[in-house]
A and B are shown apart, each in its own frame.
Chain A
Amino acid sequence: MSDNQGILWEVFVQTKPGLPHKHCGSIHGHDKEMALQNARDLYTRRNEGTNIWIIPASEIVASSPEDTGSFFEPANDKVYRHPTFYKIADGITHM
């Protein structure tokens, strides 16, 4: 097995037209086309998808675990920011 498997790409698959792309895993590939084909073969061969995005893992900017306190906790006690006082109409499935 070769050590040089190319760079790591994160894969996002859209399961139906109109739905958001969801992260489903990662693959290796030396270039965009190879990565796209690898993603297709690995993540959509059982009819899971209608569209694929791939993104070089190194290009993703992520918050770090140390940021959790300052980033997310202030939202906890501001209940008025959550749309919990509304009723969702019948027939709306993807909220």
Chain B
Amino acid sequence: MTTQEALFNYCLRLADNHLILGHRLSELCSKGPVLEEDIACTNISLDLIGQANALLQYAASIENNGRNEDDLAFLRHERHFYNSLLSEQPNRDFAFTMVKQFLIDAFNYYLFDELKKSKDLTISALTTKGHKEITYHLRHSSTWIDRLGLGTDESNLRTQNAINELWRFTDDMFVMDEVDKMLITDGIATDLNIIKTKWQNTVNGAFEKANLKIPEKVWMQYGSKQGKHTEHLGFLLAEMQHLHRAYPGVKW
């Protein structure tokens, strides 16, 4: 693998995490629990898709093979997406959505904070800009963890159920392979073990404060870095890519 191939793949991972999570959140548009929360979720979705757009543009320029950001978003197949398994999970109830957001926001918060120091100037610039938005996303989802965990018996139960269901997908975010190793040596990527320690502290602290527990002895699921996904991604892509595939190159 050349550095160029590794960097292309790395950018796709960053972009796909945001694109898929952003698309999931956009499914709540007009379906939020209250009007204000509907706007908040749609805003965050737009932030994520905007960041994904910039990262895919950069990925396309690295690949330098005639594909643009739209081709990468709308014409790749499921096995060529590298978003985390967690990001593609369906929204289900609001507690489920917020637990998913929180677990990923905390990951993104520390990852982007480290990537600001990347020796790749574009990654450094994009993550510096993105980190401000992610700081807000984390604030939004962590206050919901507090509220739901400490709210009623029902809200605590639903939030705990969501954690129990989603926990098996958390380790997948921290998997590293030769792409990471190659780029860490070059000072471009960051060691995900460092991110994991910080992430665990934040998540443990937030759950403890909100009277929520991390389940024990969970069988972890992996595969996203090889493009192996849960059954949910295919359906998501079918909806997300439909318009572009039916009307290639369509514009507003």
Contacts and interface: CB of A to CB of B under 8 A. Distances in A.
Interface string B134-162: 00100110010001000000000000000
B177 interface: no
Contact of A1 (B34, B40, B140, B143): B34
Given A2-B33, A37-B140, A42-B39, 19 more contacts: A1-B35, A2-B34, A5-B34, A5-B35, A5-B36, A27-B36, A28-B34, A28-B35, A29-B36, A30-B147, A31-B147, A38-B36, A38-B39, A40-B136, A41-B39, A41-B40, A41-B43, A42-B36, A45-B43
A53 B139 CA distance: 18
Interface of A: 1-2, 5-6, 27-31, 33-34, 37-38, 40-42, 45
B143 to A, nearest CB: 5
B33 A28 contact: no
Contacts, number: 35
Nearest to B146: A33
A40 B35 CA distance: 14
A14 to B, nearest CB: 18
A41 B147 contact: no
25 contacts: A1-B34, A2-B33, A2-B34, A5-B34, A5-B35, A5-B36, A6-B34, A28-B34, A28-B36, A29-B36, A34-B143, A37-B40, A37-B139, A37-B140, A38-B36, A38-B37, A38-B39, A38-B40, A40-B136, A41-B36, A41-B39, A41-B40, A41-B43, A42-B36, A42-B39
Q: Interface residues of B toward A: which range? A: 10 to 19
Contacts of A33: 143
A30 B34 CA distance: 11
Interface in B62-114: none
Contacts of A45: 43
A41 B39 CA distance: 7
Contacts of B139: 37
Contacts of B140: 37
Interface string B7-34: 0000000000000000000000000011
Contacts of A31: 147
A74 to B, nearest CB: 42
Nearest to B43: A41
